[in-house]
Amino acid sequence: MTKTTYQATTVITFWAVNIFKAIPYAILGIFTSQTLIAGLYLAPAALFGAWLGVWAHSVIPERLFFIVTYVLLTATGAKLIFDALT
């Protein structure tokens, strides 16, 4: 799998999961005017992050991309396990 295929699959998967989560969140009343305003304030950071991701995708070689991905996934998994055990 190329890094482009991997990233595209990840983006589509997270998009779909977030769309499905939006329905129960709305039913539970998690979306309030305060959370929507916070989202508006954070929108520039999200756009910058998307731009940074596109830039990094074009600059980072494929081998280094997967090394960084595996290291970050391992660190994230270890943090989640640590949090669950404490």
pLDDT tens digits for 34-76? 999 999 999 999 999 999 989 999 999 999 999 999 999 999 9
pTM of the complete model: 0.71
Report, as an integer, the average pLDDT of 26-35: 92
Token readout for 37 is 């305003």
Residues 6+ apart with CB under 8 A from 7: 53, 57
pLDDT of amino acid 47: 96
Cβ contact 13:72 at 8 Å = no
Q: How far apart (Å, rounded) are the C-alpha atoms in residues 40 and 34?
A: 10
The 10 Å Cβ neighbour count of residue 71 is: 10
Domain that holds residue 37: 3-85
Count of the separate structural domains present in the chain:
1
Write down the pLDDT at residue 44: 97
d(CA 69, CA 73): 6
